[in-house]
Every structure is written in structure tokens, then in C-alpha cells.
């Protein structure tokens, strides 16, 4: 499992020019799955994301977590995180998990975040979306559940 976490002042996701998910202060999390990912990967990732200290404290030091600042998450499925462009110019997506399995894990990921008290907004799995991100900082972190 691979995620790109971006600290955000405000962000939204649209499908067919209609906003379907929107957050104010919090994180945009782009989420990709690969073969072998499981509930253990999800729980590791959720714990890492909600406790990641990337929000400023009163001294301007990144020392607070999403839980500390009571932020929200805009969760966007993104199989292209497993794109491999080492050979040629067209990325291969062979390492991305098959869509029906990835959707199950994506739904479990979002439900796990909600069980931790996080407000979660999402896009729609498997459709073309437009994501508008106001990246704060900018702060962008890439996390993998396994080496």
C-alpha cells in the first residue's frame, strides 16, 4: 500500500463538474494498493497517517497530528501510484492491484479512518475525477506500508 499525504488548507473532488467531496483544514490522501496488501497494511497506514506530526504547533514547528488539529481527510483512490516508468515512456501498472480487490481495500481504509473519529470525504472509485488541492506549506509525504 502506498499513499501520498498532502497537508491541505482546503480541497475538493469533482465528478462531471459536480463537487462530491470537500474538506477544509486537513489532509488529502492519495491511496494506491498492490498485490499482497491486506487489513494489516490498512491499519498500519491509518495509524501512521492520523498520528503523523506534520501540522504546525504554536511555535511554527511541525509537531501536531491530524488528531491534534481535528482535521479532515479527503481520500482519493489512485492506482497510478503504482505506475512504473523505468522502461520506456509509457508507465506500466502491473503492480497496481486489480480494481475489484482494490475497491474493497479502499473502502476498508476509509471506514478505518472513520472509526478513529476522522471526518472523511472521498471521490468515486474507478471514475475520472478532478481534484483541487490547496497544499499547505507545501507539505507532501509519501508512505509505504512495506519496504
- Residue 34 has, within 13 A of its CA and on its CB side, a CA count of 16
pLDDT at 121 exceeding the cut of 90: yes
Contact 97, 105 (CB under 8 A): yes
The conformation of residue 127, written as its DSSP 8-state character, comes to S
Residue range 52-56: mean pLDDT, rounded: 98
Tell me how far CA of residue 96 lies from CA of 66, 91, 108, 122, 131, in angstroms. 28, 11, 17, 20, 21
Sign of CA dihedral 136, 116, 58, 52: negative
- Predicted TM-score (pTM) of the model is 0.95
As to burial, measured by CB atoms within 10 angstroms (0-12 exposed, 13-18 middle, 19+ buried), residue 115 is exposed
Per-residue model confidence as pLDDT tens digits over 13-22 = 999 999 999 9
Which pLDDT belongs to residue 146? 86
Which pLDDT belongs to residue 132? 98
Alpha-carbon distance of 53 to 136, in angstroms, equals: 14
Q: In which band, very low, low, confident or very high, does the pLDDT at 56 lie, cut at 50, 70 and 90? A: very high
Q: Calculate the CA dihedral of residues 27, 143, 1, 47 and round it to 10 degrees.
A: -60
pLDDT at 65 exceeding the cut of 90: yes
Q: Which residues are catalytic, by number?
A: 78-80
Which pLDDT belongs to residue 42? 98
Alpha-carbon distance of 99 to 80, in angstroms, equals: 12
Average pLDDT value for the chain: 97
Which pLDDT belongs to residue 147? 73
pLDDT at 103 exceeding the cut of 80: yes
Domains of the chain are 2-144 (3.50.80.10)
Amino acid at each position: 500500500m502506498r499513499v501520498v499525504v498532502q497537508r491541505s488548507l482546503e480541497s475538493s473532488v469533482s465528478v462531471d463538474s459536480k463537487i462530491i467531496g470537500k474538506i477544509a483544514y486537513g489532509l488529502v490522501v492519495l491511496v494506491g494498493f498492490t498485490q499482497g496488501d491486506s487489513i494489516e497494511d490498512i491499519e498500519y497506514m491509518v495509524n501512521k497517517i492520523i498520528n503523523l506530526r506534520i501540522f504546525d504547533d504554536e511555535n511554527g514547528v511541525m509537531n501536531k497530528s491530524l488528531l491534534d488539529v481535528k482535521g479532515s481527510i479527503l481520500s482519493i483512490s489512485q492506482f497510478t501510484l503504482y505506475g512504473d516508468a523505468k522502461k520506456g515512456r509509457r508507465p506500466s501498472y502491473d503492480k497496481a492491484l486489480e480494481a475489484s480487490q482494490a475497491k474493497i481495500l479502499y473502502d476498508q481504509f476509509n471506514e478505518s479512518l472513520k472509526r478513529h473519529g476522522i471526518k472523511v470525504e472521498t471521490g468515486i472509485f474507478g471514475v475520472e475525477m478532478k481534484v483541487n488541492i490547496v497544499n499547505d506549506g507545501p507539505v507532501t509525504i509519501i508512505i509505504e506500508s512495506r519496504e
